[in-house]
Structure formats: C-alpha cells, structure tokens
Amino acid sequence: MIDTSLLLNDVEFANAMLEKNELSNADLVFSLRNLLRMKYYPVAVKFFYSEDELSEFKKHASYKVGAHAFTFCHYLAASRQRGDILLGTVKELGCSNAKFVWGWKEFDESEVKSHLKYAKDMAQAERFVKTKKRLPGGLLAFATAPLHRTPFKPDVIHGMSDVLQAYHLGNDWCAAMDIHPFEMTMTMNSSACHGVASVYLTDKPNITPMCSGSYTAGKTEQGEINWIWPGGQLGPTVRWMLERTVRDKGTSFPRTGETYPGFNMCKLCPFLVWMKPREEKG
C-alpha cells in the first residue's frame, strides 16, 4: 500500500529514504522528482569499450536501435521523455561533432568549418576545436537509458532541468563531496556529446547551457539546462539533499525550509506575512 501522505511530507519522505543503506536508481529518480520537482528522467549513459560487455548488453537488455542515424541529443530526448533504452554505433550516430569528440572521426577541415559561425576566423575555429576533450580510441558503441530502468552501471548521468533546479543539485554536490567551488565548463557547441565525454574523462560533474544543436535536436524549447554527473556521484548528492531536507524541513535554498524549491515570494518582505488569526476577546 502506497502512503501518499508520507510521500507528500518532505521530512517524513526524506527520513523514510534515509533508512535505506543504499539508494537505488529508482530512489534517486523519485527523490529528484518529489523534492526538486524535476519532470524528466535522468539518462544513464554507457560507453562500450569491451566486446564482452556489449555482447552481454545485447543478450539481456530489451533495447531499441535507430531506424536512421540520429544525433546524440535525439537519443537523450527519447530516453529522457519516453523511457527508451537505446543502443547506437558509429553508423547510427548522425552528428559529426559527436563523432569527433567520441573518437569516431578524425580532425578535419569540415569539423573546423562547422565551428566557423562561432569564431572570428578559421584559425580561431581550429584552435577552439582542438581544445575539446576526446574519448580514447576503441569505442564500440554507446547506450542511453532512463536511470531507473538502466540495465547497465552508468558511466555518466545526463539530466535536464531548469536553472534553479540545477543550482540546487550543484550546491548539494559541493556539500556531499566537500568540494568548492563547483566548476562549470561550456563549449561553443557539443554541449551534450562533449559534456558527457568531458565528465567521463574528468570524473567531475558539469552544469552547462544548451548549444544550438542540442536546443533544436534535443527538444529543449523551455529554457532547460544540462546537468551531467559522473555515474557514481549522483547517489551521494541526493543522499545529502535528503539529509538537509530533514534538517531544514524543506528543500528550497531561496527560502530555507520551504517545500517548493522555486519559492520566490520577495525574500524578507515585511508585507508578505501570514499568521494564525488572533482570538477575539469576549
């Protein structure tokens, strides 16, 4: 029997979750939905470098492949919004920028030209392209899956939210991992494909805006922002969020102790006050 009253009481919900020795992937997803009001599934991303791992995935996972070559942002959108478990190879990846940062395409003039609209000239565009991190060679395939249904241990977790939700998550990562400041990195394009590659290589999370490609192909018409976490660091982040929810009686940072993370009713305004009615004297 599901106790919906408990689920809607932030402190009781957080205490119930903290009784678990380890939070499952479903626990992480539900906590983000319930406390930070996130509306999309976080997406688990896996890079296959082992033939044995890839064979095991194909043998046991219920997955889909693209009918055509799609961008990585399309894969993320399908897993994020519909809950699809997807597998892609170089043949099913339709974005040349993603192929470059994932080591499936060599540096060439066409890659520079695709950045020219962002740069002053070809020389600057070439220099900027060469600053991007790239996955090591030998990548066989990649997979995306909604985090709560993932059949693999994620290398990286890609999420999408509004800016304030990502701000809460970044703050909670700092406290959970005892690291400050939270360093954000933006590239001119490749925000999703380079974003997951960079987090995979550095083992550090990132919060970064959409690039023009992820805005259009990735279905991000509502001003969302990317948050990208190493696979093993979302658990500690969410656990601390639950702990401080118990401590502060709510999740919100803009108004400590409020249940709604986006609470923004004129902080400290002396006019916005509600109180219990005074008892009328006989």
Q: Name which residue leads in pLDDT, 279 or 116.
A: 116
Per-residue pLDDT, averaged over 45-60, amounts to: 98
**Is residue 280 assigned to a domain?**
no
Q: Is residue 190 part of a domain?
A: yes
In a domain, 174, yes or no: yes
**Residue 237 and residue 145: Cα distance in Å, rounded?**
20
Residue 171 pLDDT grade (very low, low, confident, very high; cuts 50, 70, 90): very high
**For residue 181, is the peptide bond before it cis, meaning its omega torsion is within 30 degrees of 0?**
yes
Q: What is the mean pLDDT of residues 48-69?
A: 97
226 touches 73 (CB < 8 A):
no
Instruction: Compute the distance between CA of residue 17 and CA of residue 9 in angstroms, rounded to an integer.
Output: 12
Q: What does pTM read for this prediction?
A: 0.92
**Residue 125 placed within a domain:** yes
Residue 271 lies in a domain: no
83's CB contacts (< 8 A; 6+ apart) are: 41, 146, 149
The average confidence (pLDDT) of the chain is: 93
Question: Which candidate, 90, 94, 57, 89, places its Cα nearest to that of 73?
Answer: 94
Residue appearing with tokens 């890659």 = 111
Is residue 21 over pLDDT 90?
yes
Is the residue at 262 inside a domain? Answer: no
Backbone angles phi, psi at 144, to 5 degrees: -125, 145
Q: How many angstroms separate the CA atoms of 169 and 121, rounded? A: 37
**pLDDT tens per residue, range 117-142:** 999 999 999 999 999 999 999 999 99
Distance, CA of 46 to CA of 60 (rounded, Å): 15
Tell whether 182 is covered by a domain: yes
Tell me: the pLDDT tens digits for 181-215? Answer: 999 999 988 999 999 999 999 999 999 999 877 67
Task: Tell me the pLDDT band of 281, cut-offs 50, 70 and 90.
Answer: confident
Asked whether residue 181 is domain-assigned, the answer is yes
* pLDDT value, residue 211: 87
Q: pLDDT tier at 221 (50, 70, 90 boundaries)?
A: low
User: In sequence order, what DSSP letters do the residues of 214-251 get, joined into one string?
Assistant: HHHHTT-TT--EEEEEETTTHHHHHHHHHHHHHHHSS-
Count how many domains the chain has. Answer: 1
pLDDT at 239 over 80: yes
Please give the residue range of the domain that contains residue 219: 4-248
